[in-house]
Amino acid sequence: MDAGQGNRSGDRARQRMWKTASSVPPDSATGRQLALMKDLSRAAISPQDFAKAWLDSRRAALRSEERLGESLSRQLDQVFYALDDYPIDPALREPGDVTEGELLAAVNDAIEKIEHARD
């Protein structure tokens, strides 16, 4: 690879550094995560469907090497941690697992912090 190719690759990486939700392209995997969070918040998607789609989008964002500012990344991580303890199949729920209400609260809290971030 020549130096020009390396620079183009570096330019792409810099273009994918989004510090605020408003800078995230809606057609990116991160944009999809944010849209799904809003969908869950207004009950436009079930918690189970949200969990599956959000985790798929999270994996896509990682594969695409989408980079986020610290504050935005931290809030999406909080949603991930809630989903990590949320049983998508209600039959597998155990004491101490994240409930649908707790998942919704975690998502709403993340949305609030993302919307007020100045990263």
Burial class of 96 by CB neighbour count within 10 A (0 to 12, 13 to 18, 19+): exposed
Q: At what angle do helices 100-115 and 70-84 cross, to 10 degrees?
A: 180
Q: Model-level pTM?
A: 0.84
Q: Which residues, 6+ apart, have CB-to-CB distance to 93 below 8 Å?
A: 87
Two structure tokens written together for 58: 């999270």
Whole-number Cα distances in Å, 7 to 13, 65, 107? 10, 16, 37
What's the chain's average pLDDT? 88
- Summarize pLDDT for 51-97 with one digit per residue, the tens: 999 999 999 999 999 999 999 999 999 999 999 999 999 899 999 99
DSSP character for 92? G
Confidence at 6, pLDDT banded by 50, 70, 90:
very low
